[in-house]
């Protein structure tokens, strides 16, 4: 069942989303060579709690940390560790924050110092693929319209679309109906209505779309060891379009 949020619920989700945006903005300045992903997690958790939010990932199905920190060939769900970031890495920070029972969820890939052209290309086009999907959103469209827009953009740019993981509805729970795949057929799947909230989150690989999961049962890696990027927003369906609940501070320039 896809829930329709009331005005009050939307207000709370906006607050949760704003906390996610602020935490990303806060962490950004610390993403430099030498810091460990565990230190980033600690900074994030303290900051989230100082805002009055709850780091929903921590303890979710046993996940140990407030953020997912996925470096280079890690696609998603990287567990913060003693790994020290180094110049040339890319790292995706993914986090979910709960506020008064409602969730906000956003992921962003960051460059650590100077990165090579392949990683730049991957980041640029994965971010653009996210907005290609988001731009479709309005009442009456099908989930497949979003999926198709993302897949078409990714294929056009020769990037691998990870198919095993997808976007999702969000509300009281971090994962609600519907599933929002990053590949599919326009005109297929459930239709959106005003008041629904979904997370759109392409995970694109520089090489093959194939992935595998480490023995920790969380860390998802690319099969060929090439880098992967991941961008995610929580998006509300409005009367005549959409509203991003996890806006980036520099977003105006991107839309």
**Phi, psi at 171, each rounded to 5°:** -175, -115
Q: How many alpha carbons fall within 13 Å on the CB side of residue 81?
A: 11
Rounded to an integer, what distance in angstroms lies between the CA atom of residue 133 and that of residue 44? Answer: 28
Residue with tokens 């989700």: 13
90 with 109: CB under 8 angstroms? yes
- Give me the DSSP letters along 45-73: HHHHHHTT-EETTTTGGG--SSEEEEETT
Residue 176 makes contact with ligand MF3 by CB under 6 A: no
Interface residue with Co ion among 19, 69, 76, 199 (CB under 5 A) is 199
Residue 203: C-alpha distances to residues 23, 30, 35, 162 (Å)? 21, 23, 24, 6
Near Co ion by CB under 5 A, which window of 49-57, 77-85, 105-113, 130-138? 105-113
Taking CB under 6 A as the rule, which mask of x and - marks residues 11-50 in contact with ligand MF3?
A: ----------------------------------------
Question: From the CB of 88, what's the least distance to Co ion, in Å?
Answer: 27
Buried b / exposed e over 110-120, threshold 16 CB at 10 Å, is bbbeebeeebe
Residues near ligand MF3 (CB under 6 A), total: 10
User: Of 103-111, 186-194, 221-229, 239-247, which segment contacts Co ion by CB under 5 A?
Assistant: 103-111
CB atoms within 10 A of CB 52: 11
Q: Which is nearer to ligand MF3, 26 or 121 (CB)?
A: 26
Nearer to Co ion, 169 or 189 (CB): 169
Q: Which of 5, 18, 24, 77 binds ligand MF3 (CB under 6 A)?
A: 77
Is 121 one of the binding residues for ligand MF3 (CB under 6 A)?
no
Map residues 189-228 to x or -, x wherever contact with ligand MF3 holds by CB under 6 A: ----------x-----------------------------
Distance CA 133, CA 150 (A): 5
83 binds, among Co ion, ligand MF3, none (CB under 5 to 8 A by kind): none
Helices (H) and strands (E) counted in the chain, each on its own, are 4, 15
Q: Which of 48, 68, 123, 196 binds ligand MF3 (CB under 6 A)?
A: 68
**Sole binder of ligand MF3 in the list 41, 94, 127, 132 (CB under 6 A):** 94
Give the CA distances from residue 182 to residues 5, 98, 150, 216, in Å, rounded to whole numbers and listed in that order. 24, 25, 6, 25
Q: Provide the minimum distance between the beta carbon of 188 and Co ion in the complex, in angstroms, as a whole number.
A: 21
Cross-sheet strand order for the sheet of 160-161 = 160-161, 203-205, 228-230
Stretch that binds ligand MF3, among 36-44, 56-64, 183-191, 221-229 (CB under 6 A): 56-64
Q: Is 105 in the site for Co ion (CB under 5 A)?
A: yes
What's the closest the beta carbon of residue 105 comes to Co ion, in angstroms?
4
Q: Which residues bind Co ion (CB under 5 A)?
A: 105, 199
């Amino acid at each position: 069942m896809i829930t329709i949020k009331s005005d009050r619920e939307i207000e709370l989700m906006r607050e949760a989303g704003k906390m996610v945006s602020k935490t990303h903005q806060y962490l950004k300045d610390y993403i430099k060579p030498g810091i460990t992903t565990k230190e980033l997690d600690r900074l994030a958790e303290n900051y989230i709690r100082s805002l009055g939010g709850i780091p929903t990932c921590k303890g979710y199905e046993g996940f140990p940390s407030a953020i997912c920190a996925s470096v280079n060939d890690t696609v998603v769900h990287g567990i913060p560790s003693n790994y020290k970031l180094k110049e040339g890495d890319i790292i995706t920070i993914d986090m979910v924050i709960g506020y008064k029972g409602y969730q906000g969820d956003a992921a962003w890939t960051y460059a650590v110092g100077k990165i090579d052209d392949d990683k730049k290309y991957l980041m640029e086009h994965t971010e653009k693929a996210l907005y290609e999907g988001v731009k479709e959103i309005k009442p009456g469209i099908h989930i497949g319209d979003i999926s198709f827009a993302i897949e078409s953009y990714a294929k056009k740019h020769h990037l691998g679309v990870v198919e095993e993981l997808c976007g999702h509805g969000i509300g009281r729970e971090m994962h609600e109906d519907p599933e929002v795949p990053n590949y599919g057929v326009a005109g297929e799947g459930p239709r959106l209505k005003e008041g629904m909230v979904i997370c759109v989150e392409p995970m694109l690989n520089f090489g093959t779309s194939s992935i595998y999961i480490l023995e920790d049962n969380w860390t998802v890696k690319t099969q060929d060891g090439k880098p992967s990027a991941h961008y995610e927003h929580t998006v509300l369906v409005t009367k005549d379009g959409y509203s991003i609940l996890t806006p980036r501070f520099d977003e105006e320039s991107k839309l």
